[in-house]
Structure 1
Amino acid sequence: MRRTGTTRRGALTATGAFAVGAVLAGCGGDTDDTGSGRKGSAHSGARTAADGTSSVRTEKALRTSASRTTATLLAGYEHVLTAHPSTATALTPLRDAVRAHLKAVTPGAAPALGTARSRAAGPAAAVKELAAAERAAADAYTALLLEAPGELARLLASVAAACSAHAYLLTELAKETPA
């Protein structure tokens, strides 16, 4: 294996820093709309109850969206592993991680894995497509972070960072995979 300018440790450090930044950006102060910082009025109590109901609905919708993204990604891994068995050694640990992500973000029963068809003729091109799918998934999770409440935001940031690391590893694997 030839050395590149970017090491695996450097890539994981960068994605970890990205995740921490995303989590910290999601953390904010807990003051009311007047900016006085006082809490406890009847209006703020009613607003908190309404926000709690809305937050539960929002969290469920965000988890559903994230689980669809993850199920599509997992279907892509399954298709590539079936079509190109020579990639199994390298792709199986990544697929298993995506399966764990699906379990973590799914609000209830796991969604059906749709059909993901690769247009790639060879294993190297199929791995490149998986890398692109991982980058797209990382972008989707990052976009969901803007609306997610605290704990879900941390989970989505972690999954987005993992997808970024997977995309890097798959890009390097594609360079080493025979066409």
Structure 2
Amino acid sequence: MRRTGTTRRGAFTATGALALGAVLAGCGDGPGRGKDSARSGAATAAEQASAARAEERIRTAAARTGLELLGGYEQVIRAHPATAAGLSPLRDAVRAHAKALAPADGQAPALPRSRAADAEAGLKELAAAERRAADAHLAALMEAPPELARLLASIAAAGAAHAYLLTELAKETSS
């Protein structure tokens, strides 16, 4: 005997049909067509210019963060040459990230001085700097356009991994 009434499959089909209808209804002529197109075109151009300035500002700040981090790696490697083997791959990744973020007219910032007396302290300082950089990149995600947001998220994830690796390298160095 066949059950009558509404089935789960029927409810899903009806919901899907309603959703498809709503999507198709939204694809018609919008306010950008016809007599309002000049006004909306000007607003769109202004919005694009504003978005481009915001992206440039975010890129500049993120690149500055990356270059400062790169300078920290260089200082620790210079002060403690025994750490060069472990830090070189991470430093190279940070250099690539800074290059990917750098705007066309990017300039190198002044590098902070390391206060670390030994290799372990230098590595812990770098790990903290990587965490701060990752946090800064994550904070910038909310304002960034989609393509830049994906790049920042990827670099933030790499920074978190670098912080973990640096922490582990500091533990090994102390032994």
TM-score range relative to shorter protein: 0.7 to 0.9
Deviation at 1:48, TM superposition (A): 1.7
Q: Which amino acid in the other structure matches residue 174 of structure 1?
A: A
Distance 1:56 1:173, change over 3 A: same
Question: Unmatched 5+ residue regions in structure 2?
Answer: 1-25
Q: What CA distance in whole angstroms lies between the structure 2 residues aligned with 1:54 and 1:161?
A: 28
Name which of 76, 79, 84 aligns with 1:88. Answer: 84
Cα-to-partner distance string for 1:40-80 (whole Å, 9 max, x where unaligned): 25344332211101111111111110111011000000000
Name which of 104, 107, 114 aligns with 1:111. Answer: 107
Does 2:45 correspond to 1:49?
yes
Does 2:170 correspond to 1:174?
yes
Deviation at 1:158, TM superposition (A): 0.6
Question: Unmatched 5+ residue regions in structure 1?
Answer: 1-35
Whether contact under 8 Å (2:120, 2:170) holds in the other structure is: yes
Distance 1:125 1:134, change over 3 A: same
**Partner of residue 75, structure 2:** 79
Q: Which amino acid in the other structure matches residue 142 of structure 1?
A: L
Whether contact under 8 Å (2:60, 2:106) holds in the other structure is: no
**Partner of residue 22, structure 1:** none
> Secondary structure, in 3 states, of the residue corresponding to 1:93?
helix
Query: Which sits farther off after the overlay, 71-80 or 102-111?
Result: 102-111
Q: What CA distance in whole angstroms lies between the structure 2 residues aligned with 1:119 and 1:147?
A: 34
Q: What CA distance in whole angstroms lies between the structure 2 residues aligned with 1:59 and 1:95?
A: 25
Cα-to-partner distance string for 1:11-52 (whole Å, 9 max, x where unaligned): xxxxxxxxxxxxxxxxxxxxxxxxx78452534433221110
Q: Which amino acid in the other structure matches residue 81 of structure 1?
A: I
Name which of 135, 139, 159 aligns with 2:135. Answer: 139
> Secondary structure, in 3 states, of the residue corresponding to 2:174?
coil
How many residues align structurally? 144
Q: What CA distance in whole angstroms lies between the structure 1 residues aligned with 2:139 and 2:155?
A: 12
Q: What CA distance in whole angstroms lies between the structure 1 residues aligned with 2:171 and 2:91?
A: 19
Whether contact under 8 Å (1:63, 1:107) holds in the other structure is: yes
**Partner of residue 31, structure 1:** none
Q: Which amino acid in the other structure matches residue 153 of structure 2?
A: A
Q: What CA distance in whole angstroms lies between the structure 2 residues aligned with 1:151 and 1:90?
A: 31
Q: Which amino acid in the other structure matches residue 65 of structure 1?
A: A
Which protein, 1 or 2, shows the higher relative CO under an 8 Å CA cutoff with sep ≥ 6? 1
Deviation at 1:164, TM superposition (A): 0.5
- Give the TM-score taking structure 1 as reference length: 0.75
Q: What CA distance in whole angstroms lies between the structure 2 residues aligned with 1:128 and 1:138?
A: 15
**Runs of at least 4 residues off by over 2 Å:** 36-39, 41-47, 113-116
